[in-house]
Amino acid sequence: MRMMVFFDLPVQTAKERSAAARFRSFLLKDGYYMLQYSVYVRLCNGLDNVTLHRARLKQAVPDNGSVRLMVVTEKQYESIDLLLGKVSAQEEAQQVETLTLF
Each residue's pLDDT expressed in tens, for the chain with a length of 102 residues: 999 999 999 999 999 999 999 999 999 999 999 999 999 999 999 999 999 999 999 999 999 999 999 999 999 998 988 888 888 787 777 765 655 655
What pLDDT, on the 0 to 100 scale, is given for residue 88?
Answer: 77
Query: What are the domain boundaries of the chain?
Result: 2-101
What pLDDT, on the 0 to 100 scale, is given for residue 21?
Answer: 97
What pLDDT, on the 0 to 100 scale, is given for residue 22?
Answer: 97
Q: Which CATH fold would you assign to the domain 2-101?
A: Alpha-Beta Plaits (3.30.70)
Q: For residues 102 and 99, give the distance between their C-alpha atoms in angstroms, rounded to a whole number.
A: 5
With H, G, I as helix, E, B as strand and everything else as coil, classify residue 71: strand
